A and B are shown apart, each in its own frame.
Chain A
Amino acid sequence: MASYQAYFLGGIIMFVSFFIPGGAAQAGWTSYSPLATSIPTHGQLFWIIGMVLLISSSLLGAVNFIATIIQLRAPGMTWMRMPFFVWAQFVTAFLLLLAFPPLEAASVMQLMDNVAHTSFFLPTGLATGGNLAHISGGGSPLLWQHLFWFLGHPEVYVLILPAMGIVCEIIACNTRKPIWGYKSLVYSVLLIGFLSFIVWAHHMYLTGMGTKISAFFQATTMIISIPSVIILTCLFISLWGGSIRINTPMLFALAFLPMFGIGGLTGLPLGFNASDLYLHDTYYVIAHFHYVVAPGTIFGLFAGIYFWFPKMTGRKMNEFWGSVHFWTSLIFMNLVFMPMFVQGIKGMLRRMADGGANYSAARVPGAIDALPGYVMDLHHWILVAAVCLGISQIPFIINLFWSMKHGEKVGDNPWEATTVDWQTPTPPPHGNFAEPIQIYRGPYEYSAPGHATDFTPQTEPEVVTTVPPTVPTHAH
């Protein structure tokens, strides 16, 4: 609860900052100093205080998740019997626990820069508005960037790991077969968690921090792509030979795989120092990370909502409108972000005040034109697709609220899933279960040979067979 209260208060403070004189924080989401300290608004102050509260909230939440997973596993629930989603949440919580505090430290220092006029991030000789700033100097803008991206990169995995976990659960359930390479998934997610702490400076190749440091972070960035590919590969192979049920959660989960694949693979040129120098801060970057977080994370979340909605409410969401939501979202999502790859490769920079109009109109004698006209025209198509993408979410919102009252009523385990979350009453009471449970088996025992149904819940006891084992007879 304290976690939620801190989150709520932090959110309020952030929103309030829009209504103060001078407006909200204007230094972008990265809040780079000295820009963040130079803009004459108290919005940055509100942002920092809001951030400190949100970080406290995530800290409490993370402690809660990890302590629960370590301490409150049901009897028989060994580590290697945990569903992959729980593993993903476990690693995510550790990332939040350990990666956020350095940003909190950085926030405190930026707060001091703002309030106490220190110079943590302000270099000697800084001039703002044409005048030499009245500061002691000696600070380092790079320090902020390092501390910021020390959170910033693990944060990306905070976004994607739960989505991977959700997709894994849904694929196992809807292919009616055990997930392929469960242990590989677990070790990969642990490796990602560890490596994500030592890749942050690949966001900073252009800062002049030095080629040696760039080389190190380029190497770690390439290494972290290996466990990511392992996870994706395991999920793909899991589809092989399954009797696949197509429903709305499964549609989103299936779309996640190639879409996240595009997002991940297009990240490789950004991880290499040499190619990143060209692509840095272009629309290519925007396209890349939106492929990771939009059809990646957000599709994962949609899949999760459609999947666990019956457990929360006792009713299913409407399948027809679910698939309308899916297909329109998938098409428009691609129409929004795919053209951005082209724009970025052609040199369209991000964060241009006029969308690049002036830049594209520039004509330098003897040089190639800055941006071809069709690159600028793509903006219009992206706008149309983005509006359509927004409209595509309307069926989802209506479906969500309508189904709470009018959805098809279902039992405790409508998807015939094996994991423990489906063996509880609906909605789950305090402590989740009506009476203590015992775990007897792994999380994905679908289509076990000789079993009456094609799923064997984790709580189902081992059948003690009284029939003597048959002696195999060999035909000669």
Chain B
Amino acid sequence: MSTTAAFTSDKDFLAGMYQKMLTIRLLEEKVLQLLMEGEVPDLYPCAGQEAVPVGVCAALRPQDLITGTYRGMGHMVAKGADLKPIFAELYGRKTGCCKGKGGAKHLAAFDKGVMGAYAIVGASIPIAVGLALAAKMLGKDQLVACFFGDGASNQGSFHESLNLAFIWRVPVIFVCENNLYAASTPLKTSTAVDHIAKRADGYAIKGLTIDGNDVEAVYQATKEAATRALRGEPTLLECLTYRYGGHFAAEDRIGWNYRTAEEIARWKKQDPLERAEIILKDRFGWSSSEKKMLEKGIREEIEEALEFARQSPPPQPLEALEDCYFEMDHNFLWRWPE
């Protein structure tokens, strides 16, 4: 594993990252509960991986862009998206961040630079290269961080995109959230290399493997990658991490069983939130009352967002025909029931 120069946050900065991670954790807890109760139909959990989006986005500027995956709640919160439209989207409401059309797999906040989440594995990688190409061609002071998993690194789009990023010298950071499993398939049995970062060598870009559960390390590595990106030097940043929940929320209910309890317990000892909390306490004398205050505030925010979603009207059925080029003739002029 590569190490980057030791980085020491100041208290507020680290507490800010911790707050974001805790928001993601608590938000997911809440949504999973609602899912069990049948109120929310779909979710792809990311608990355990919070340090990656939070550390990366902490190193980005407001004008920088990200592309996410269907495991996208963390990316949204980390880049500063409001919780209300997230909740409303999960509920399929008109006030959702995609008007209820994208749903859990397609969270987006264009005003915050979250340029969509993509439910085809590896799909966002060429798009991120294109976003970065436009940033370069238009002379924008902007870079793009592209999130994807270890499974995506076996898609052709990954390999095509790294090659394009190098030959076009675009400002992009490829952030691989390596949680060791592509759905249920272990990295070991599906992937020729033990570390995804090695694949950078094939495309003449810098590849780094870092501890993805150390939010400061993720921040620091991204900061350095951002400097390179703005010089037109892409980086493949592999963040080793682990997802506690299923690939999809209900996988254990249909009998998926591919990880041992010991393995999960081992990773939980490396929990990104607990590690940040320890640093906050040891280094900055953070008190448990400060944590409680933080948690209380987040829980309130979540409840407000949930209430917003529940109170929001569902979309009208005819709105299904909006937001797409749609041939009115085809469906209505030609004998459609009134």
**A and B part of one assembly:** no
